[in-house]
Amino acid sequence: MGKRSSSPNLTELRDESVLRRVRHLGSAHSGLQEWRLQRWTALALIPLGLYFVASMLRLATSDQMAAAAWLASPAPALLVILFVLAAFAHALVGLRSVFADYVHTRSTLFAIDLLVRAVTILLAGASILAVFKLFLGR
């Protein structure tokens, strides 16, 4: 009977030691936050994307001055900036998730993560700067 009572204790000890080793590894660190950000940006991109596509279709037959005048208005400028921010945030989280799944060396993953973040920040910043430039008329 002594062996039966010690067997569950050994299993509990083994499970606790395994749990201690993996507690701070994997996607449990920030996976939920990234998952939520991916879902929120996807939801935001539905109306913003529809607005952007409809606006581009309407502006397709107009000249450059009409498009610049359209983007100089406060509401379209704000909606385009929100669209750019949501699109780049969505792309960043998605790319980081794909690379985390398929790149297995830490140094390569770190380098790719820095590169993806830098390119995303650079492109989003340039896009927002262009919208501000048209909005402010400079």
Angstrom distance (rounded) from CA 43 to CA 90 = 10
Residue 111 belongs to domain with CATH number: 1.20.1300.10
| pLDDT tens figures, 17-63 | 666 655 555 555 567 888 899 999 999 999 999 999 999 999 999 99
- Tell me the pLDDT band of 11, cut-offs 50, 70 and 90: low
Tell me the pTM: 0.75
In a domain, 85, yes or no: yes
Angstrom distance (rounded) from CA 69 to CA 72 = 5
In a domain, 65, yes or no: yes
Q: Which two tokens stand for residue 53?
A: 């596509």
| pLDDT tens figures, 78-96 | 999 999 999 999 999 999 9
Residue 124's pLDDT is 97
More confident residue, 79 or 16: 79
In a domain, 91, yes or no: yes
Mean pLDDT across the stretch 121-135?
96
Cα 60 from chain centre: 29
In a domain, 47, yes or no: yes
Between 64-71 and 74-102, two packed helices, what is the crossing angle to 10 degrees?
Answer: 90
In a domain, 79, yes or no: yes
Burial 96-135 (b: 16+ CB within 10 A, else e): beeebeeeeeeeeeeebbeebeeebeeebeebbeebeebb
In a domain, 116, yes or no: yes
| pLDDT tens figures, 63-77 | 999 999 999 999 999
In a domain, 6, yes or no: no
In a domain, 9, yes or no: no
Query: Containing domain of residue 100, as a range?
Result: 30-136
More confident residue, 88 or 137: 88
Instruction: Please give the tally of structural domains in the chain.
Output: 1
